[in-house]
Amino acid sequence: MVALEECDHLQKPDADSWGENPEASYARRERSRIILEAVAALPPALRRVCMLRNFEELSTKEVADRLGLPAITVRVRLFRAHCELRRRLGGVGSQVVSKFADRLAT
């Protein structure tokens, strides 16, 4: 058996070295699952624009070019997708949808 005094040189792990709190990790994963399910339930035209713009982080112009649409159509579809997500998610994902909506200006 090792005497406690002999272990003085060992350092206590700090809180950051333990990683994310399990409850916070679960809550984050659950929010992500709920949001992805809501996005998957969008009509295909809205879902494509939402996925490219928000998850693949393409610019409005890049989305328009990839889909062969005018940029204004991409903006309108993205606006409609965000409105639908806010309606479906209520408080669960409203902050995430707001973050997406803030990127409309770029």
**Residue 43 CA: distances (Å) to CA of 2, 8, 61, 81, 105:** 65, 62, 21, 9, 23
Residue 19 domain flag = no
| pLDDT tens-digit series, residues 22-36 | 888 898 889 889 989
Q: Is residue 9 in some structural domain?
A: no
What pLDDT digit, counting tens, does each position of 31-80 carry? 889 989 999 999 999 999 999 999 899 999 999 999 999 999 999 999 99
Domain for residue 22, yes or no? no
Domain presence at residue 4: no
Identify the domain containing residue 78 by its residue range: 44-106
Query: How many separate domains does the chain show?
Result: 1
| 67 assigned to some structural domain | yes
55, part of any domain: yes
What predicted TM-score, i.e. pTM, was given to this entire model? Answer: 0.67
pLDDT at 18 over 70: no
Q: CATH code at 50?
A: 1.10.10
